[in-house]
Chain A
Amino acid sequence: MTAAAEVLRAKKVTKRFGGLVAVNAIDFTIPEKSIVSLIGPNGAGKTTFFNIIAGIYDPTDGAIEFRDLTMIAHARRAWMEPVLWVAIPAVLGILTALIGVAGAPQGTVILGIFITILALLASLVTGVARGPAYQRFLARFGIFRSARPNDMVVAGLGRTFQNIRLFQNMTALENVQVGMHSRLRAGWYDALLSTPRNRHEEAFSRARAEELLELVGLRGEGANLAKNLPYGDQRRLEIARALASNPVLLLLDEPTAGMNPNETAGLTALIGRLRRDLGLTILLIEHDMKVVMGISDRVTVLDHGEKIAEGTPEEIRRDPKVIEAYLGAPAE
């Protein structure tokens, strides 16, 4: 794959939990529209790495660039963020107090207080919402906060979990609609007033959710509770939910774990279809070597938090270090 654009770049990503190094200085890229697999023995740091990419953990060191933007790195000057929240309203408040002492008319002072309160609210709400513009504003002060999981979704990343984390007591359809959340625009005022936009979006999201359910092979299951679906269907539903945010990159954490060979084959075919039909880039953690070798363009092998090999499935199959890591061959 020469000069294909890269969806994601990990640069020297390290994660330490206390004294334990879970992920050590991993460099890693995912070319556009490829299927990349991450393999390694249990405890190799695959899921930790995954969670860093998804915005759940801050890395101890290193950075993740997603679609050419640095999204995730260790926080810098995080303590200054709340200082900024308070700074602007505090200045306004002091000004108000000063003009009050200076003998300004009561109306002006009340207006000043009003503006101060509005400024405080605005800065707090902007601060907790943490939109892209706000992140750029922070960058001016040298503050960096990693993207949160929801920011990554907005940026174009979808994921599934190793232990299925569906909203068990919601219907399949609702689960997919939740996945669409970040792509819907109706706000609380739309909901309160039941505006045409709200009604249109609700209808649209239901129709789109039905489509997605059909795509993953769950046609007609929309009204069932997630927890009442068979295990394999729950895995599929999780994929449908992840697709609902129209991701560019899809992270699948052991999608075939616990499936019988039949189900595994069906799911493997589905993953291939997702790339072909939707043009998705897919990062896969997988234990089933048949799946990995069958659909991956590239495979990266982790062991004890280190990247020990990288290449095409053919290369990996023959790599002596990989064989050693898996079979536990005697030390050199």
Chain B
Amino acid sequence: MTAMTSARPTTGPSSPRARLQAFAHLHRSATIIASMVLITVAMILLPQVPPLSFIQRSDAWYDTFANAGVFILLAMGLNVVVGLAGLLDLGYAAFFAIGSYTYAYSNSPFSHQNLPFLPMLAVGAAVAAVFGIALGAPTLRLRGDYLAIMTLGFGEIVPIMFLNLDKWTEGTNGIGGIFRPEPLPLLGEFTPLSPFAYYILSVMIVTLAMILLYRMQDSRIGRAWNAIREDELAAAANGINTVTTKLLAFAIGATTAGFAGVFNASKLTIVSPEQFLFAVSFSVLAMVILGGMGNIWGVAAGAFVVYLIQIVLLKQLNGIVENLNVPFLTKVNFLDYQYLLFGIALVLMMLFRPEGLFPSQRRRRELHIADELEGPIDEPGVIGSMGETPGADETFNEAAGEDVPGHDR
């Protein structure tokens, strides 16, 4: 028996990087707060200096960053569903819409209500969660594919409902003139002209969400998500109630979208059905995939980068091309091509780098089937290879492949 346990190098915290990682794992929340403070300060300073200061004024940058915060939240929420639990939610924008409309009803001339902002954050999230559970519970008892189509349908009909029920939603015009949040301590007033308060608020919400999501991921439930994603039958055979565990992931995703929706509505001060079409769900999915499914930091970074590409880079490209006066390209609006680019990027990522740009170690291992013992490898394209898991004992490993549940002979 002792002969079987061959000596393997133990990965002790030897290098400074490994030690830092170990520390970060142990003091997760503190690390997140410290990192976010650093990033926030950097992002306050960077827009003051070139090259960012050339592109737009610093207030405009803060506005951009605050909006990016919405998409970071959305991406982190969808990551729980797609990246952690391994489910596909194609109607994520619907929960975003529900959060947004909830805030619109609580704070607009249309509804004659003016309720405080912070409690509404929780209410919006809760309403979205209710819809998430009501949609997820009947669907998640079935095989995973049904969730994809169910959410796709839900994502389509929610905007249609907001459009059709015009008596209660003002239809296509949407609900406008939504009140901004009341002044908050430390942040001051929320005004359209100085978006700094929004920026800080968005950073705070993102930080809070990140801490909570990391706690979920590191808990017993996060482990269960991993297990379900790897082998659902084995997870069930080890006592995990796969339905409720998946439902929890789905509900957390919806809740996060509800949060983002409330913040978004309070910032835009208008909600209308066309803000929540499938393109939004698709963009957020692309953010999660590009960032790296399963890695919370990676997904946040992915969302930030993709959002900046959408909002700043493509717009700048239009301006640059116009200034250069290239005869053919001036007619091209690069913003029109963004979804085409996303689609192509998504497919290429799935084919060649499914673990995303900022992968989580675990997902990289899962998605690249044949790369163990060699250490992390960088060349793409191994996902399709038929290799079984090459364990240390290859001769005995023919049985270790995936077999189809429900077939035992």
A contact residues vs B (CB 8 Å cutoff) = 22, 42-43, 47-48, 51, 54, 56-57, 82, 117, 120-121, 124-125, 127-130, 148-150, 153-154, 159, 161-170, 174, 177-179, 181-184, 186-188, 190-192, 194, 198, 201-202, 205, 217-218, 220-221, 223-225, 227-234, 241-242, 244-245, 257-259, 262-263, 266
Contacts and interface: CB of A to CB of B under 8 A. Distances in A.
Contacts of B145: none
B216 A188 contact: yes
A188 B5 contact: no
A31 B287 CA distance: 56
Interface string B238-258: 111111100110001000000
Given A191-B216, A230-B4, A266-B1, A167 B409 contact: no
22 contacts: A42-B409, A117-B130, A125-B137, A128-B243, A150-B236, A150-B238, A154-B239, A162-B408, A170-B223, A188-B248, A191-B215, A191-B221, A194-B29, A227-B372, A227-B389, A228-B372, A229-B392, A231-B391, A231-B396, A232-B396, A241-B238, A258-B399
The residue in A22, A54, A127, A188 that gathers the most chain B C-beta atoms within 10 A of its C-beta is A188
B8 to A, nearest CB: 6
A191 B220 CA distance: 8
Instruction: Give the size range of B's interface with the partner.
Output: 35 or more
A202 B406 CA distance: 33
Contacts, number: 196
A51 B236 CA distance: 12
Given A125-B133, A188-B248, A225 B237 contact: no
Nearest to B366: A169
Interface in B383-409: 389, 391-393, 396-397, 399-401, 403, 405-406, 408-409
Interface of B: 1, 3-6, 8, 10-11, 29, 130, 133-134, 137-138, 140-141, 212, 215-216, 218-224, 226-227, 230-231, 233-244, 247-248, 252, 362, 365-366, 372-373, 389, 391-393, 396-397, 399-401, 403, 405-406, 408-409
Nearest to B231: A165
A259 B138 CA distance: 44
B399 A181 contact: no
Nearest to A57: B406
Contacts of B235: 167, 178
Contacts of B230: 167-170
B38 to A, nearest CB: 23
Given A125-B247, A217-B1, A263-B4, A149 B237 contact: yes
Given A128-B244, A150-B240, 8 more contacts: A124-B134, A150-B241, A154-B239, A170-B226, A221-B5, A231-B393, A234-B391, A245-B239
A22 B408 CA distance: 10
